[in-house]
Structure 1
């Protein structure tokens, strides 16, 4: 009998989330849409703007702040909830006999690594057949840093291909533009647009899963007011992290729509989750057995994606393997580290409520 009462208290059934503040829950769709979209679109549009002269230090802050946000999101907002969900008392005892959340997270990390490794080896082999030399110092599946000290594009080069060309006054000027006046080199490094798009798609996939899930939860959660306030900041900060990645993509003119589309896609994910949750509020219970399993598994997979992206593609490459950082002043490194730690700290603090 006590087990029955306990199950009812936990509300492990299939239905019904909270239904109060319904008007405010509808308004949250548009409020979070504006906050998420603004956070993601601002770095992209500001970097392209000819009249809005944003200092480079501000872009650097957004980039490193965003790296900290992504890392904190992985551990605090994804992995921790996944551990809770897959150890819920609503689940069968077998779920609590093994750390499935950590195992799925690890599986996700190795899966992303293998995909990147295979794609890199396959791409390099194809380039060799075409007689094009691939610069091993520049490779990545995203708009992040490269595997080793870069010569061109600083720490933004990806899937770099070295194409020799004569060095004359005109080409030196063009190269200076590419390098933002910091380096000179006899090779032009061409970033693979497909590699960058795949990389940012992997990052957005992990973030999108998380965003849809928290949107579903917000739509039916009993502590709506607190969660709503926190998620406005949460999604704006996370959008800034995504937007700073998108803003630094080096793409040909025909792919210029990709960063804007990526930012817009991020902006609508949580509102979609809220709308779906409101539509299914009579049957969707975030504490139910099914919801616990689904959210736990998806959060675990998303955590692995963001952990790999945050620690390998962002943290290590932008600091340890970046020529710009290795040759930079202590003040520059301190500024970058401070920005990253601030993003990580603020996002971790938000984990106290959401």
Structure 2
């Protein structure tokens, strides 16, 4: 009897009762609505011809969302990875080295190398057609996040293209340039979505089995809505050819369903899944750490650097606009960091 009691009191013992089962099931649909609303509203509002949303609102959503993503990387992912991989329920060998930080570092450099290869390949292809692009978006200004912005050097194009095929070749090179730019933007957003999706599934699994359900449920509603706003604002400002208009909508849908999928999976295995077990801690810690690196790179390089330092409109704009953007971003970062107190 004493042995059983010790096992029940262990921090590694299962602790995922069936309390609030009906509310846990309802949370699938409630969080689905909140996530989809946060991610899809910026996309739909940007495309709407009758819903006249002021530009300042879009700017707020964009910069607020950037702050949310950066806070998610540090507070909700990296800190969680450190905690999970430092759990007493896993092999002590995991605590002999800061594996969470190392995995985050590995993830940052992996994404960085992938983007370098993509930029070099794209630059070489465009150079053959007499087209240039500015990898930092200096020339294009406002929406330079997630990949290079293309600029056409008309003189170079005319030198490459023969007069008798001028029209067809220009059209062909334009199409290639648009497709190349679209591809780099899609890759950038896909990287962001991948990191967020891993995090969202883990959140769903946790919510389905966590004994402190009520507090966690309320916090995650806000968490997913804010994070959805961040993802949705990136999707809304993608500059894509008309044939790729479906990409932002699909991106918003994917974000919206990931946490509900995690909740449904958690409810399905709640009687056998032990979130406190060593294996669960290792899997969650590794995924959180890798995801933190993805969001850190995306937040600091693609969002902060490209939207501020490499953004001509921002650097040459008024002090009021800069203050508004920085305030919006810090508000998003602050609110998301505050939510880390409970989730």
- Number of residue-to-residue matches in the alignment: 323
1:96 corresponds to? 95
Contact 1:154 1:323 in 2 (8 A): no
How far is 1:158 from its partner? 3.9
Distance 1:151 1:195 in 2: 15
1:175 corresponds to? none
Matched, 1:292 2:292: no
Change (3 A) 1:132 1:10: farther
Distance 2:254 2:58 in 1: 21
What does residue range 61-210 of structure 1 map to in structure 2 within 5 Å?
61-128=60-127, 130-135=128-133, 137=134, 139=135, 147=136, 149-151=138-140, 154-155=143-144, 158-165=147-154, 190=178, 192-210=181-199
TM-score, length-normalised on structure 1?
Answer: 0.86
SS at match of 1:149: coil
Change (3 A) 1:112 1:152: same
Distance 1:223 1:89 in 2: 21
How far is 1:155 from its partner? 3.6
Contact 2:82 2:101 in 1 (8 A): yes
CA shift digits 1:41-95 (9 cap, x unpaired): 0000000000000000000000000000000000000000100000000011111
Unmatched segments (≥5 aa) in structure 2:
156-173
How far is 1:159 from its partner? 2.7
Distance 2:66 2:78 in 1: 17
Contact 2:31 2:259 in 1 (8 A): yes
Contact 1:155 1:323 in 2 (8 A): no
Contact 1:155 1:324 in 2 (8 A): no
1:143 corresponds to? none
1:176 corresponds to? none
Unmatched segments (≥5 aa) in structure 1:
140-146, 167-186
TM-score, length-normalised on structure 2?
Answer: 0.89
How far is 1:119 from its partner? 1.1
Change (3 A) 1:92 1:223: same
How far is 1:157 from its partner? 8.0
Distance 1:157 1:216 in 2: 30
Distance 1:153 1:68 in 2: 18
